[in-house]
């Protein structure tokens, strides 16, 4: 006789509703048996826990072990290098060479690419390999390559970057002779440090309002790959995620889906383009978009308000107007208002801070750095300016200078949670894992002192509660990787 917990139809529906609300993932009819078995197995593993009590624990503790295990069981970690040869050829022979040439002509040697739903990492590492082959001056470029997922097990494997031949799934000659892999055991190949070092792997839930943000590196992107992810999402989550992708992209940036993903993307945000058998979605300039009235009424009212000359406003009113622009990702409109305000208040540190934030999200990192430096000159004891300066430097690849900026932030305000977290990221990149863990633990302790629903600063779409969850997950991934290294 089996001791397996019995789930009622009501239990199954409650769990399915929870997964849809928390992650935007629909549980379809053909998945129900595996879904039911996964919940039962977790109930059994924790002392034959009642299903409803398990559900309440998952709701109350977003990163509890049981919730992590359920996500691992219902998401697929199947991927391989250079998947979808038609898309890879398009990137290798058309899109990336043209993008690189455009950047060269502009004197802007940085590329920013995000694999959203990266699974075990092969997709973003494939992009890193393509860029290594395309860039003759590879070391001169600042490459911001980001892979994110919600599956902890997949993220751990992506961070380790060790694969068998089936995971790589390309000709054996490439594995043996390319120089990108080293065989470390029978049918186990480790990706070269030179490629691995260019890629950041982290947790991100696409169903949450946590991007775009410079905190997570999900802003001012040239390209987003989100392949075989939307097929699991409900319609509302697809629309919400695609609109946030729009805000995360540079002007004319592209979003690449797979051929099996639903194409229910809002045409007011993207235009579909096709090259032979490959399609992609290019960001449409909002100025030319015919947005639905319900979607932009607040922006229309804001634009009407912006027509009032800033000179007619006092500085406090001007700043509130700018903050409204920034809070709805109106970066160009915000920058326009900042520049008008600076005509009469050219030495205001906060206005220069706002200018830097707008420029970051418009992809103008060097100009953003200069604005931030001007802000610091005007107010040498304002910790927010040093934090922003550190974030910019980190995005531009200047890790030592970024570390100095974050330490200065902490010196000016030891309770600045974001600075402790970002310092941890720098230390992690430098291989100082114990110190990195300590910094992130400091950040978590500080976050616990704040109201959970309080936003982090005024233009980042994160609350202290949601960011605490991200940090806990990051800490777990680091500690897991550290324990693997010691074995």
Q: What is the pLDDT of residue 112?
A: 94
Parallel/antiparallel/unpaired status of strands 270-275 and 249-256: unpaired
Q: Are residues 259 and 322 in the same domain?
A: no
Q: Give the DSSP letter string of 113-168.
A: EEEET-TTSHHHHHHHHHHHHH-TTGGGSEEEEEEEES-HHHHHHHHHTEE-HHHH
Single out the residue in 288, 310, 325 at which a domain terminates.
288
Residue 442 lies inside a defined structural domain of this protein? yes
Give CA–CA dist 305/302, Å, rounded: 5
Residue 49 lies inside a defined structural domain of this protein? yes
Number of domains in the chain: 3
Give CA–CA dist 121/155, Å, rounded: 8
CB atoms within 10 A of CB 375: 26
CATH code for the domain of 363: 1.25.40.10
Q: Are residues 278 and 231 in the same domain?
A: yes
Give CA–CA dist 142/89, Å, rounded: 23
Q: Are residues 360 and 452 in the same domain?
A: yes
Q: What is the pLDDT of residue 8?
A: 86
Q: Are residues 121 and 264 in the same domain?
A: yes
CB atoms within 10 A of CB 87: 23
Q: Are residues 244 and 333 in the same domain?
A: no
Residue 79 lies inside a defined structural domain of this protein? no
CB atoms within 10 A of CB 55: 20
Domain around 308: 293-486
Q: What is the pLDDT of residue 461?
A: 64
From its phi and psi, is residue 169 left (phi > 0), alpha (psi between -120 and 50) or beta?
left
Burial (Cβ within 10 Å: 0-12, 13-18, ≥19) of residue 206 = buried
Those residues whose C-beta lies under 8 Å from the C-beta of residue 339, and which sit 6 or more positions away, are: 355
CB atoms within 10 A of CB 196: 18
| Chain centroid offset of residue 353 CA | 22
Single out the residue in 53, 74, 95 at which a domain terminates.
74
Q: Would you call 55 helix, strand, or coil by DSSP?
A: helix
Q: Are residues 280 and 305 in the same domain?
A: no
Parallel/antiparallel/unpaired status of strands 142-149 and 199-203: parallel
Give CA–CA dist 202/124, Å, rounded: 12
Residue 115 lies inside a defined structural domain of this protein? yes
Residue 2 lies inside a defined structural domain of this protein? no
Q: Are residues 67 and 91 in the same domain?
A: no
Q: Are residues 298 and 429 in the same domain?
A: yes
Single out the residue in 244, 267, 288 at which a domain terminates.
288
Q: What is the pLDDT of residue 303?
A: 44
Residue 478 lies inside a defined structural domain of this protein? yes
Residue 385 lies inside a defined structural domain of this protein? yes
Q: Which of 433, 450, 436 shows the shortest CA–CA distance to 485?
A: 433
Q: Are residues 273 and 304 in the same domain?
A: no
Q: What is the pLDDT of residue 293?
A: 35
Q: Are residues 278 and 358 in the same domain?
A: no
CATH code for the domain of 47: 1.10.155
CA atoms within 13 A on the CB side of 3: 8
pLDDT, block means (10 residues), the chain with 487 residues: 69 92 88 89 84 90 87 83 89 95 90 94 94 93 93 90 84 78 86 91 88 87 92 88 91 88 76 86 66 39 45 76 85 91 88 92 88 94 94 89 96 94 91 91 92 74 79 78 59
Burial (Cβ within 10 Å: 0-12, 13-18, ≥19) of residue 171 = exposed
Residue 1 lies inside a defined structural domain of this protein? no
**Cβ distance 110 to 148 under 8 Å?**
no
């Amino acid at each position: 006789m089996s001791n397996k917990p019995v789930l009622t139809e009501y239990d199954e529906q409650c769990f399915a509703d929870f997964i849809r609300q928390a992650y935007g993932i629909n549980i379809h009819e053909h998945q129900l048996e595996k879904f039911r078995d996964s919940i039962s197995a977790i109930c059994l593993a924790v002392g034959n826990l009642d299903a409803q009590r398990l559900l309440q624990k998952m709701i109350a503790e977003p990163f509890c072990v049981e919730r992590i295990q359920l996500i691992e069981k219902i998401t697929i970690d199947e991927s391989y290098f250079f998947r979808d040869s038609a898309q890879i050829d398009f990137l290798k022979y058309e899109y990336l060479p043209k993008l690189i040439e455009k950047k060269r002509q502009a004197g802007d040697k940085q590329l920013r690419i995000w694999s959203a739903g990266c699974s075990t990492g092969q997709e973003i590492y494939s992009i890193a390999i393509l860029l290594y082959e395309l860039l003759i001056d590879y070391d001169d470029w600042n490459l911001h390559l980001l892979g994110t997922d919600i599956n902890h097990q997949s993220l751990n494997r992506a961070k380790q970057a060790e694969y068998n031949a089936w995971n790589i799934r390309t000709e054996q000659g490439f594995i043996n002779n390319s120089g990108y892999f080293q065989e470390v055991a029978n049918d186990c190949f480790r990706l070269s440090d030179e490629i691995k070092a260019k890629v950041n792997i982290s947790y991100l839930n696409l169903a949450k309002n946590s991007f775009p943000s410079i905190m997570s590196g999900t802003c001012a992107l040239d390209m987003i790959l989100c392949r075989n992810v939307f097929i699991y999402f409900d319609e509302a989550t697809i629309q919400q995620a695609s609109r946030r992708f729009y805000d995360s992209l540079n002007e004319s940036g592209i979003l690449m889906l797979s051929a099996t993903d639903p194409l229910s993307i809002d045409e007011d945000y993207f235009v579909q383009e096709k090259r032979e058998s490959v399609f992609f979605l290019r960001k449409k300039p909002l100025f030319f978009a015919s947005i639905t009235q319900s979607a932009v009424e607040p922006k229309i009212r804001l634009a009407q308000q912006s027509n009032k000359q800033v000179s007619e406003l006092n500085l406090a009113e001007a700043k509130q107007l700018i903050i409204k622009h920034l809070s709805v990702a109106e970066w160009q409109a915000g920058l326009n208002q900042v520049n008008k305000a600076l005509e009469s208040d050219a030495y205001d540190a906060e206005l220069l801070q706002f200018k830097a934030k707008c420029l970051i999200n418009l992809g103008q990192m060097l100009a953003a750095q200069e604005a931030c430096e001007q802000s610091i000159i005007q107010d040498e004891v304002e910790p927010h300016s040093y934090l922003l300066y550190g974030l910019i430097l980190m995005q531009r690849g200047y890790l030592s200078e970024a570390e100095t900026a974050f330490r200065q932030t902490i010196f000016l305000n030891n309770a600045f949670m974001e600075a402790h977290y970002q310092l941890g990221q720098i230390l992690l990149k430098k291989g100082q894992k114990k110190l990195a863990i300590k910094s992130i633990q400091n950040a978590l302790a500080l976050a616990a002192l704040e109201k959970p629903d309080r936003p982090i600063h005024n233009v980042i779409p994160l609350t202290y509660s949601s960011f605490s969850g991200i940090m806990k997950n990051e800490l777990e991934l680091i500690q897991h990787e550290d324990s693997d290294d010691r074995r």
